[in-house]
Amino acid sequence: MKIAGLASNRGRNLRHIADVAPGGAEPSVVLTNREGAPVIEAAAERRIPTEVVVREDDESRESHEKRILDRLAAYDFDLVCLDGYMRVLTDEFLDAAPTTLNVHPSLLPAFPGTDAHEQVLDAGVRTTGCTVHVVTEAVDDGPIVTQEPVPVYEDDDEDTLKRRVLQEAEFTAYPRAVRWFAEGSVDVEADADGTPVSVAVDGDTGGSFPARRFASEDRAASLRYGENPHQDAALYADPACEEASVVGADALNPGSKGMGYNNYNDADAALGLVKEFDAPAAAVIKHTNPAGCATADTLAGAYDRALRTDAKSAFGGIVALNRQCDADTAEAIVESFKEVVVAPGYTESALDVLREKKNLRVLDVGPLGAGDERFSERFVEKSIVGGRLVQERDLQSPSVDDLEIVTERDPTDEQLETMIFAWKTLKHVKSNGILFATGTETVGVGMGQVSRVDAVTLAAMKAEKDAEGKSAAGAVMASDAFFPFPDAVEEAAAAGIEAVIQPGGSVNDEDVIEAANDHDMAMAFTGSRCFRHD
């Protein structure tokens, strides 16, 4: 699609559209009605042809527009984009030209005219933005194509608001509108006189992954620093979130240091893990990975089993519990240095114990809920340069009946129970992830490796070197993705693994199964993987 751009001054939006080429659209000409307008030099730098058509002192608007149309006739264009074009167009131009768009620096129909930012500030509104609309002879009154909101802050003045509306709203909305036209997604309907009256956009729908998203979050805290001391950071909260979270947790240890970026990140990971289990569960997290996890008949028992997986790595870690913390569990937690404890409540005696550690952050997230109620948030997202990745949360929770046994040897009932526990825990281990478990407790964890065999080797090493009173011998191994070759199974067999749970689906599944049979191992397929890369 080719664009004819009309501007009277800098033409910042036209420059931006030329730079990003939304939908492949590009300006074929930039025309200005003002000699020496900065947009001329900006267009020339981009090798875009320019035209200057100045209105004479006694010239009518219609005559001036006819001369503009005559000059534009030498160029091919499918869309006209105005950008700070300080003339109201008449039917002389609009009837002869293709669809003409303009961007206005407010959310029309509010605050039309040339002083929109002043009007916004005088009115005291808390949200402004921009509007891209089809141009008609009525000023700022054509049918709306798209809008983009921008918050208004207490310390805003006209200059700061103008700059943010341009950079945060107009640079988003105008290219979007152009892209829609370039893709043929826009239907402009006109009345009997040919005046545009409505706009419909194909595909601009809602649902789980809408074509457009607006996110509004409130700053909940200014953090001491980010991942490292030289990085500033803040915590933003979603006020509509109903799920128990560390963002809205009450801090119950007055005088302790404030939560930092890493503390929140690790605490969120820890809480997400213990939500997986109905039985009393405890997890110890270090750098968002489980150093250990277990369930047991008592919370103190679960914490003890989780800690003994890797007490060395648990030093300075985060503890999460899925039950009210009691005194016995609290006494065990404070025996070594921890940064944060997260739980859905605490007994008074537990708080007395935990508060003896002045810098231990103690977070009460409130009731977790039961079953699926624990997971009200359907999506997770990750910011990347230039955008955000959004996906559904991995809420898969296979049962024994969902497993496909693929080896000659069937797993025992106890091994099947361990497989389910291991899979739920493995979902929270960074890929490539391998986890060894017995009963309902971790034995060794191999996380974040670029080789699956190395992840097996690491899990075996951690089990033998760092686990207290535990061993890989006789344990179950869980893998977050299929084994491309039998070598990882061979490595696991050497460590003493007797059963394996994995997704399956490799072209070499038969070789992997054969290796398991050769070592008298039981193996089950889940049919789905549980990668975790963030």
List the one residue out of 84, 71, 93, 100 whose CA is nearest residue 38: 84
DSSP 296-310: -SSHHHHHHHHHTT-
Which one of the listed residues 16, 104, 133, 428 is annotated catalytic?
104
Q: Is residue 372's pLDDT more than 90?
A: no
| Token code pair at residue 227 | 């991942």
pTM of the predicted model as reported, rounded to 2 decimal places: 0.88
Check if the beta carbon of residue 90 is closer than 8 Å to that of residue 65.
yes
pLDDT in tens, 504-517: 999 999 999 999 99
The span from the CA of 187 to the CA of 204, in Å, is 12
- Name the residue with tokens 């309902």: 440
For the chain, helix, strand, coil in percent to 5 are 30, 25, 45
Residues in CB range of 428: below 8 A, 6 or more apart: 269, 272, 273, 276, 283, 289, 290, 532
Contacts 24+ apart (CB under 8 A), 71-75: 71/31, 72/4, 72/29, 72/31, 72/97, 75/2, 75/4, 75/28, 75/29, 75/49
Mean pLDDT across the stretch 110-129?
97
List the one residue out of 88, 121, 120, 119 whose CA is nearest residue 102: 88
| Token code pair at residue 468 | 């207290």
- Mean pLDDT estimate for the chain: 96
Q: Is residue 14's pLDDT more than 90?
A: yes
DSSP 447-499: -S-SSHHHHHHHHHHHHHHT-SS--STT-EEEESS--SSTHHHHHHHHHT--E
Active site residue 104: yes
Per DSSP (E only), the strands in 302-411 are 317-321, 338-343, 361-364, 379-384, 387-392, 404-405
User: Helix crossing, 171-182 with 12-20: angle to 10°?
Assistant: 50
Mean pLDDT across the stretch 496-509?
97
Mean pLDDT across the stretch 51-74?
96
The span from the CA of 174 to the CA of 1, in Å, is 15
pLDDT in tens, 16-56: 999 999 999 999 999 999 999 999 999 999 999 999 999 99
Check if the beta carbon of residue 389 is closer than 8 Å to that of residue 257.
no
Torsion of the alpha carbons at 218, 220, 222 and 224, rounded to the nearest 10? -140
Mean pLDDT across the stretch 193-211?
93
User: Helix crossing, 38-45 with 12-20: angle to 10°?
Assistant: 10
Predicted confidence at residue 367, as pLDDT, reads: 96
Check if the beta carbon of residue 479 is closer than 8 Å to that of residue 452.
yes
- The strand pair at 361-364 and 338-343 is best described as parallel
Predicted confidence at residue 531, as pLDDT, reads: 95
List the one residue out of 395, 400, 436, 425 whose CA is nearest residue 524: 400
**In b/e form, how buried is each residue of 489-504, taking b as 16+ CB within 10 angstroms?**
bbbbbebbbbbbbbbb
Predicted confidence at residue 465, as pLDDT, reads: 96
- The strand pair at 317-321 and 338-343 is best described as parallel
Mean pLDDT across the stretch 129-138?
96
Check if the beta carbon of residue 144 is closer than 8 Å to that of residue 189.
no
Mean pLDDT across the stretch 220-225?
93
- Greater confidence (330 vs 369) lies with 330
Check if the beta carbon of residue 236 is closer than 8 Å to that of residue 264.
no
- Full 3-state SS string of 44-73: HHCCCCEEECCCCCCCCHHHHHHHHHHHHC
- Full 3-state SS string of 185-207: CEEEEECCCCCEEEEEECCCCCC
The span from the CA of 308 to the CA of 331, in Å, is 15
The span from the CA of 329 to the CA of 36, in Å, is 76
Q: Is residue 359's pLDDT more than 90?
A: yes
- The strand pair at 379-384 and 361-364 is best described as unpaired
pLDDT in tens, 439-453: 999 999 999 999 999
End-to-end distance of the chain based on CA atoms, in angstroms? 38
Distances (CA, A) of 526 to 365, 424, 433, 498, 523: 32, 12, 15, 17, 10
DSSP 249-315: PEE-STTSPPP-HHHHHHHHHHHHHHTT-SS-EEEEEETTEEEEEEE-SSHHHHHHHHHTT-HHHHT
pLDDT in tens, 234-288: 999 998 999 999 998 999 999 899 999 999 999 999 999 999 999 999 999 999 9
